[in-house]
Structure 1
Amino acid sequence: MTYDWQAGLVFLAVLIALTKIIKFFVFKVPALEQERLKNMEVWKEKRKLDKYKKVMQQTRSAGMYTNLVFILLVCPFFINLAPQPIWKIFLDLFIILMVYDFVYYLTHRFVFHGQGFFRKIHAVHHQARDVTFIDAHYVHPLETFVGVFLFVSTIPMLTLVLGPFHAVTVALAFLVFTQLNIINHCKVELPFFPFKTVSWISARHNAHHENMHKGNYATITLLYDKVFGTFC
C-alpha cells in the first residue's frame, strides 16, 4: 500500500473541475436557473434563523475536516493512475455507489430512525419541512461526520477486494455522492422531460422529511427501499 500523491492531485483536480463545469452549464438551462432562484429565496429567509446559523456552521466544519482527512491522508493510499478502460471506471463507480448506498440505507433506517441517541441526533435534520437545498446542510455535525465517514470508508473497504481504484473513478463517485445529497433536498417542480426524474426524487425525499416513520431511507437510489419494502 503506497501513498500515491500524484493520483491524489488528479483526484482533487478532477473533482474541482467537474464540480465547476457542471454547475456552470446546469444553470445555463433556464428552467433549472429558475428553480435555483426559488430555492435561494427560501434560503434567504431560513438563514436568518439562529438555529440555521449555528447548525450549518458546525456541520460545515464537521464535513470539511472529515473530507480533508480523507482527501489528504486516506484517499491517496487507495487510488492510482494505472490505465483502465472506460467501462472499468464506470463499473467501479457503480459498485462504490451501490455498496455505499446499501450501508447508508441500513444506517439511516436502523440507526438514525431507531431508538435512542442517534434518533435524537437525526431529529435535528427532520426539523426541516418543505425542504430546499439549504436543508442538505441543516444536519447535526455528528450525523454529518457519520454520513461522510460511511462514504469515505467504502473506498478502502472495497479496495481490499477489488484492488485500488482509478483516481477518476473515486472523483466521480465523490461528485455523485455530494451532489445527489443536495439534489435530494432541492425544491424542484419541473414535471416534464428531461427534469421529471429530478422532481420525483425531490418529492420522495420531501415526503421522508414530512414523517420520520416514512421510508425512502437510501440516498443515491431508491432501489433498496423498493427491495426491502420501505418505498413510499
Structure 2
Amino acid sequence: MDTGFFAPLLTGYEWQLSLYAAVGIAAVTLIGKYLVLLIPAFRAEHARNAAMRRSKMTKPHYAQNQRWNRRWGPVFLIAIFVGVLPFCLTAGSQPWWQMLLDIAAILLVYDFFYYLVHRFLFHDGGLLGGPLMWVHAVHHRQHNPCRQDSSYIHPIEVALGLGLYAGTIFGLSRVLGDFHVVTVVLTWVAFSQINLHNHDLWETDRFPFRYLATMSRMHHNHHARFTGGNFATITLLYDWLFGTLDHGHGYGKTKVAIRARSDASGIKKPPAEAGG
C-alpha cells in the first residue's frame, strides 16, 4: 500500500501522546474531585446539586436528553483525541511559565470565539439574527440550572462547543507550536470544570469562595431569560469589554425594556423563574 500521500501527516501524528492526554485528564479529574470534596463547602454544594439532578432525572424529557448526550458525547471525544490532538502535542521539555502562558492563551482565545458564537448564533445578538437559537433553546429550558445541566444541550451544540475548543487548540498549535501534554491536560480540566461550575447551584458566598459564587450567579442570570447577557463562559472579560454584563436586569436595550416593565408593574427587580 502506497502511504506516500499520508507520510507527511503521519510523521507528526502523536497518537501515544493523545492517549496519555486522555488518561491524564481522567486521572486529574477524578483525583481533583476526591480532594475538593474533602472541603466542607464543596461537599455541601455537591450534595445540593446532586439532589437537584436526581429530581430532574425523574422528568422523561430530561432523562432522555442525558441519555442522548451520553451516547453522542464519546463519539465527539474520540474524533478529537484521534483526529485533532495527535497533531498538536509534544512531550519535549518546556518551562513552567510557558505552560501557564499556553493555558491562558487557549482559554482566552476559545472564550473569545465562544462569546461570538453564543451571542450571535445561539442568541439574537442583532447581527445574524440567531440562526441556531432553536438548538440553544434546548439548553435554556433550564432557567435555574444545576451542575448537571451543563450537559443538558442539543447534540449539535455539543459538537459545536467541543469542535470550537479543539479547533482553538489546533489553530494555536500552528501559530505557537505544539503544546505540552501537561498543558493540554490542565487546560482541558479547567475548561470542563469551569463550564460545570457555571451551572452549579452555589450558595456559599464567603471568602475564599466569593468568585465561585459570582461566576455561578452571573451564569444563572443568563439562564433566567433567553434575552440575558453574560455570553462568555471562561471569564466575564469579553462581556465587560462588549457591554453585555448582566447582573440580573439584562443588558443594553433588554435592560431598559426589563426596567420599563418592572416600573410599569411596580416590581423593582425581575421575578424569580422556576427551573425547567
Give the alignment's TM-score, normalised by structure 2.
0.81
* Larger RCO: 1 or 2 (CA < 8 Å, sep 6+): 1
Alignment-derived partner of residue 183 in structure 2: 169
2:84 to 66, 74, 77: 74
Counterpart CA distance in 2 for 1:163 and 1:35 is 39
Deviations 1:18-50 (A, max 9, x none): 111110011111111111111111111100101
Deviations 1:111-161 (A, max 9, x none): 000335410111111110221112111111111111111001111111121
Counterparts of 1:132-151 in structure 2, within 5 Å, are 132-151=146-165
Counterpart CA distance in 2 for 1:180 and 1:84 is 26
1:181 to 188, 195, 203: 195
Q: Is the 8 A contact 1:43 1:132 kept in 2?
A: yes
Counterpart CA distance in 2 for 1:116 and 1:91 is 33
Larger radius of gyration: 2
Q: Percent identity?
A: 39
- Residue 202 of structure 1: how far off its partner (Å): 0.5
- Residue 85 of structure 1: how far off its partner (Å): 0.2
Q: Give me the CA root mean square deviation.
A: 1.2
Alignment-derived partner of residue 274 in structure 2: none
Alignment-derived partner of residue 21 in structure 1: 31
2:98 to 81, 88, 93: 88
Counterpart of 1:207, as a letter, is N
- Residue 56 of structure 1: how far off its partner (Å): 1.4
Give the alignment's TM-score, normalised by structure 1.
0.96
Structure 2, unaligned stretches of length 5 or more?
1-8, 247-276
Counterpart CA distance in 1 for 2:88 and 2:41 is 40
1:170 is paired with a residue whose SS is: helix
Alignment-derived partner of residue 230 in structure 2: 216
1:130 to 144, 160, 163: 144
Counterpart of 2:110, as a letter, is Y
Q: Is the 8 A contact 2:115 2:231 kept in 1?
A: yes
